[in-house]
Amino acid sequence: MLKVTPPERYPPEEGRYARGNDFSPVAVCVILDDFDFKIPPRLQELVMAGLDAGAALSGMLQTENVGTEKMLCNIVANPNIRYIVLCGRESAGHLPGQTLLALKEHGVDMKQRVVGSEAPTPNLSNIPMEVISRFREQVVTIVDLLAKPGEKDDAAPGLDPKTVEEAVRTCYQESPVEFRGYSLYDIGAFLVPAICYTIASKLTQPMPAMATVDAGKSKMALGLTLVKLLPQTNCQECGKRTCLAFAIDLGKGKSRLEDCPVLERPEHNADRQALAKLLE
C-alpha cells in the first residue's frame, strides 16, 4: 500500500480540527450548525470519535465558502486522504454539507461558485482551480452520514459517534467492505505530489465580491463578510458573545479592530490587513 509523508507545512490552514494519523485514508468533517460560543458536546464527541478511530484530520466545518476552502487546502496537502466522512447536522443557514457534496459531484462554474449548491454564497474564489480540481480527484468518496437541519435524535447515523467510528475504520480496510451503500477500503495515496496552499495571502487583497459590498446599504451584509476574516474562536475577549456579533458591530462602526486582541497575533496579520482594507 503506497503511502506518502505529508509536507512539512501540512496542514497549511488553521481551524477547529485535530490532526491524527497522517497516513490514514480518511478525514472526518463534522458540520457545525451552531454560532453560539460553545461547540455542542455531541459535535465534539463526533470529532473525537473520528480521531480515535484513526482519521488523518477530524474537525468542524461551519461555512460554505472560506471554511470549505480551508478544508480543501488541508486535504490536498495530504495525498493519503481519499475519503471524507461527513457527519453532524446540516446547518440550515450555510448548507456547508450540501455544498461539499455538490462540489464533489459537480465542481464549480467559471466564477468558482459550487454548481448545484443551495447555499447563499458557495464561492471558492480564494483558492486556485488547481486545488478544487485536485480535491475532486483525490477524494474518491464522501461518506454522507449528515443529519437534517434541526435533527434531535442522537441515534441518527450522523450524530452517533459509534457510526462515525465504524465509517472511519471501514475506510482503512485492506479489501472492499460494504458500509451503508458505500464500498470502502484503503486504496493508497493519490499518486501526485501534495499541494500546499494557504488562502491568507489571497485575502490580503479584497476579493471582487467583498469589494462590491456596499457598507452604506447593508451594515449587516458587511458584518457577514467581515466575520470570515476574524479568528472565529468566539473567545469573547472583545466583550462580544461571538465573532459574528463583533463583526456586525465592526460593520456598524460600533467596534474597532483593536478591540479583538486575538487579531494582534502574528498568524492573523494577513486577515487583519484584509479587514482594515474592507473597513476603509
* 87: three-class secondary structure by DSSP: strand
Nearer to ligand SF4, 176 or 261 (CB): 261
Helices 243-252/219-226 angle, 10° precision: 130
Nearer to ligand SF4, 86 or 278 (CB): 278
What residues make contact with ligand SF4 under the rule CB under 6 A?
230-231, 233-238, 240, 243, 246, 260-262
Shortest Å, Cβ 235 to ligand SF4: 4
Q: How far apart are CA 46 and CA 86, in angstroms?
A: 10
Shortest Å, Cβ 243 to ligand SF4: 3
Shortest Å, Cβ 71 to ligand SF4: 20
Nearer to ligand SF4, 118 or 264 (CB): 264
Cβ–Cβ under 8 Å, residues 165 and 49: yes
Q: How far apart are CA 20 and CA 173, in angstroms?
A: 17
Nearer to ligand SF4, 197 or 246 (CB): 246
Shortest Å, Cβ 262 to ligand SF4: 4
| Cell numbers standing for residue 233 | 474562536
| Cell numbers standing for residue 167 | 465509517
Shortest Å, Cβ 96 to ligand SF4: 20
Q: How far apart are CA 163 and CA 123, in angstroms?
A: 31
| Cell numbers standing for residue 32 | 457545525
Nearer to ligand SF4, 55 or 243 (CB): 243
Q: What angle do CA 18, 22, 25 make, to 5 degrees?
A: 100
Kindly provide the residue ranges of all beta strands, DSSP E only, lying in the chain, ordered along the sequence: 17-19, 26-31, 57-61, 83-88, 141-144, 177-179, 182-184
Shortest Å, Cβ 119 to ligand SF4: 23
Nearer to ligand SF4, 196 or 270 (CB): 270
